[in-house]
Structure 1
Amino acid sequence: MDDETAEIELLQQNLNKTKQISKRMTTILDSFDTRIAKLEKSILPLYTAAQILNRRRSNIDETLAKINDVASNHEDLAAEEALILRGPQPGQIGVYKDTLERLNANIAFKASDGDLDRTARLIETGAKKLTQLYTKVVAEGSSGVTPVPGADMMTSFPSSLLPTLSPVVTFLRTLPVPSTHPTHPAAQVILTTLKEAQRGYADMRGNWSVKCLEGQGKRLVARAESVDPLVTGREFGEWVELILGTADEEYKLLQELSPLSSTALVASAFGTLLTPILKLFNSILAALVTLVKKSLHRYTFLALSAFEGLLSLQNHWDDLLSRRDTATDKNELKDAIQTLRALCLRSFPEFLADIKLGATSRGSDTSTKLTGFTLSTVRYIAKVPEVRSAVSSALLALGDGNWKMGEGIQVGQAREGDESAILEHFIGDVIITSLTSLTAISRTSRRPAFGSIFLLNNVSYLREHLLIQPTNPSISNLLPQSAVDALNSNFRTAKAGYFDSNFSPLMQALADDPRDKSSKGAAKEKFTRFFDLLDEVVERHRLAKVLEDEPAGRETLGEEVIRLVVPALQRFTQRQKDKDFSKNPQKYIKRSAEEVEQQLYALFH
Structure 2
Amino acid sequence: MEIGSKLEKETANFAQLTERVSKYHDLSKCMSGILTTFEQRLGKLEETILPVYQKTEHLQKRQHNLESTLQSLDVVLSHYDVSQDVCNLIHRGPIEGSIFDFLNALDKLKVAMDYFLKTNSQSVELENVTSLFNNGCESLNNHYKALLKKHSAPLRPVELLDLIYIEDDSSNEDCISIKQLSPSTREELLIISNWLEHHLRRQYLQIYCEERSDVVFRSLQNLKDHQKSGSWGNEPLKPRTFARTEQKKTTSARLQHIFEKKANKLYLKATQTIENSTGLSLKKNSSHSDHLTVDEFSNNDQEMDKYIVLLLALQKLLVAERSLLGDVIPENKHTEAFSKLAFNSIDLVVKDAEVITARILRSIQRKEWTSALGIFSALKRVILLQPDIDRTCDSHQKEQLKRVLTKLQTTGSKALENFLDNVKGDSGTNIVGMSSSTLGHSNVPKDGTVHELTSNTIWFIEQLFDHYDVIGGILVTDVLVSSQLDSILIKKQNLSSEEKSKCLLAIYIKKILAELNLTIINKCEQYSDPAIKYLFRLNNINYILISLQRSNILEVLALAEPDCERSYLDIIRDLKSSYLKSWSKLIANVSPIEELPRPSQGKVKDKERAILKERFAGFNKDIEEACKQQRAISVPDVLLREGIKRDNIDHILPKYNLFYDTYCHVQFSKNPEKYVKYTPAEIGSMLGNIFDDSVM
In the superposition, the TM-score normalised over structure 1's length comes to 0.66
Pairing 1:268–2:336 present: yes
Root-mean-square deviation (Å): 4.8
1:321 aligns with 2:409: no
| Higher mean displacement: 233-242 or 424-433 | 233-242
Q: 1:329 to 1:102 in 2, by over 3 A?
A: closer
1:155-554 aligned within 5 A: 162=179, 165-175=182-192, 177-178=194-195, 188=201, 192-193=203-204, 195-213=206-224, 216=227, 232=300, 236=304, 239-240=307-308, 243-244=311-312, 246-256=314-324, 260-294=328-362, 295-296=364-365, 298-299=368-369, 300-322=372-394, 328=396, 331-345=399-413, 351-362=419-430, 364-366=432-434, 367=446, 368-400=448-480, 413-415=487-489, 418-443=500-525, 445-467=527-549, 470=550, 472-479=551-558, 480-501=561-582, 503-511=583-591, 512-518=593-599, 519=604, 520-543=609-632, 545-547=633-635, 549-554=636-641
Cα distance per residue 1:311-336 (max 9 Å; x no partner): 444444333321xxx7x577134334
Q: CA deviation at 1:540?
A: 0.7
Listed one character per residue, the Cα deviations across residues 24-48 of structure 1 (whole Å, up to 9, x for unaligned) are xxxxxxxxxxxxxxxxxxxxxxxxx
3-state SS of 2:182 partner: helix
Offset of residue 440 of structure 1: 4.0
User: Contact 1:304–1:391 (CA<8 Å) still a contact in 2?
Assistant: yes
Cα deviation, 1:45-84, whole Å, max 9, x if unaligned, reads xxxxxxxxxxxxxxxxxxxxxxxxxxxxx9xx99996996
| Equivalent in the alignment of 2:690 | 603
- Report the secondary structure of 2:487's partner residue: coil
TM-superposition CA deviations, 1:262-314 (whole Å, max 9, x none): 23433333323322332232222222332344345644545544444444444
SS class of match (1:397): coil
CA spacing shift, 1:131–1:254, aligned 2, 3 Å: farther
Change in 2 beyond 3 A, CA 1:349/1:257: closer
Q: Once structures 1 and 2 are overlaid, which stretch shifts more, 300-309 or 233-242?
A: 233-242
Task: Supply the distance in 2 between the matched residues of 1:514 and 1:550 (Cα, whole angstroms).
Answer: 39
1:595/1:453 Cα in 2 relative to 1: closer, same or farther (>3 Å)? same
CA contact (8 A) 2:155 2:177 kept: no
One-letter identity of the residue aligned with 2:222 = K
Q: Does structure 2 conserve the Cα–Cα contact (< 8 Å) formed by 1:463 and 1:487?
A: yes
How far apart in 2 are the matches of 1:111 and 1:498?
102
For 1:157 and 1:163, how far apart are their aligned partners in 2? 11
Deviations 1:70-104 (A, max 9, x none): xxxx9xx999969966x86xxxxxxx52x444555
Residue 592 of structure 1 corresponds to 679
Instruction: Specify whether residues 517 and 274 from structure 1 end up closer, same or farther in structure 2 by C-alpha distance, changes over 3 A only.
Output: farther
Number of residue-to-residue matches in the alignment:
492
Q: State whether residues 472 and 501 of structure 2, in contact with CA within 8 Å, keep that contact through their aligned partners in structure 1.
A: yes
CA distance in 2, matches of 1:280, 1:231: 26
Question: Could you say what secondary structure the match of 1:603 adopts?
Answer: coil
Q: Is the 8 A contact 1:147 1:153 kept in 2?
A: no
Residue 11 of structure 1 is matched in structure 2 by none
Q: Deviations over 1:470-526 (max 9, x none)?
A: 3x334532242232232112111222222221x333333222243422344433433
What amino acid is aligned across from residue 596 of structure 1 in structure 2?
I
Distance 1:214 1:332, change over 3 A: farther
The answer to which of 379-388 and 263-272 deviates more is 263-272
CA gap of 1:211–1:82, structure 2 versus 1, over 3 A, is same
Moved more, 250-259 or 121-130: 121-130
Q: Secondary structure at the match of 1:510?
A: coil
| 2:431–2:526 contact (8 Å) kept in structure 1 | no
Greater mean alpha carbon deviation, residues 456-465 or residues 472-481: 472-481
Gaps of at least 5 residues in structure 2 are: 1-81, 113-124, 168-172, 234-251, 253-294, 435-445, 491-496
Q: Secondary structure of the equivalent of 2:589? A: helix
Distance 1:350 1:538, change over 3 A: same
State the shift of 1:345 in Å. Answer: 4.8
Contact 2:220–2:310, Cα closer than 8 Å, also in 1: no
Does structure 2 retain, via aligned residues, the 8 Å contact 1:234–1:309?
Answer: no
Contact 2:318-2:342 at 8 Å conserved across structures: no
Range 120-129 or range 109-118, more displaced: 109-118
Distance 2:484 2:575 in 1: 27
Moved more, 116-125 or 299-308: 116-125
Letter of the structure 2 residue corresponding to residue 414 of structure 1:
I
Change (3 A) 1:374 1:317: same
> For 1:193 and 1:349, how far apart are their aligned partners in 2?
51
Change (3 A) 1:233 1:344: same
**Per-residue deviation at 1:200?**
0.7
Distance 2:144 2:333 in 1: 19
Mapped to 1, the partners of 2:678 and 2:360 lie a distance apart of 59
CA contact (8 A) 1:135 1:201 kept: no
- In structure 2, how many angstroms separate the alpha carbons of the residues matched to 1:145 and 1:123? 39
SS in 2 for 1:517: coil
Deviation at 1:138, TM superposition (A): 0.9
Contact 2:156 2:222 in 1 (8 A): no
Deviation of 1:116 after TM superposition, in Å, equals 8.6
Within 2, Cα distance between the matches of 1:504 and 1:212? 71
CA distance in 2, matches of 1:82, 1:481: 85
CA 1:229–1:358 in 2, change beyond 3 Å: closer, same or farther? Answer: farther
User: d(CA) in 2 for partners of 1:202 and 1:379?
Assistant: 45
Shift of 1:340: 4.3
Decide whether aligned partners of structure 1 residues 164 and 281 sit closer, same or farther in structure 2, where only a CA change above 3 A counts: closer
Give the aligned partner of residue 134 of structure 1. Answer: 148
Q: SS at 2:329's partner residue? A: coil
1:575 and 2:592 are equivalent in the alignment: no
Distance 1:445 1:112 in 2: 100
TM-score (norm 2): 0.58
- Residue 682 of structure 2 aligns with an amino acid whose one-letter code is E
CA spacing shift, 1:200–1:290, aligned 2, 3 Å: same
SS at match of 1:590: coil
Give the 5 Å matches for 1:112-127.
125=139
Conserved in 2, the CA contact under 8 Å of 1:507 and 1:568? Answer: yes
Cα distance, 1:530 vs. partner?
1.9
Distance 1:111 1:242 in 2: 47
Greater shift in the superposed pair: 102-111 or 435-444: 102-111
The superposition leaves residues 324-361 of structure 1 with CA deviations (integer Å, 9 ceiling, x where unpaired) of xx7x5771343344444445555556544443433454
CA–CA distance in 1 between the matches of 2:223 and 2:687?
Answer: 65
Matched-pair contact (CA < 8 Å) for 1:289–1:340: yes
- Looking at structure 1, the residues matched to 422 and 197 of structure 2 have their Cα atoms a distance apart, in angstroms, of 70
Q: CA separation in 1, counterparts of 2:537 and 2:219?
A: 59
From the superposition, tell whether residues 453 and 587 of structure 1 become closer, same or farther in structure 2 (CA, over 3 Å): same
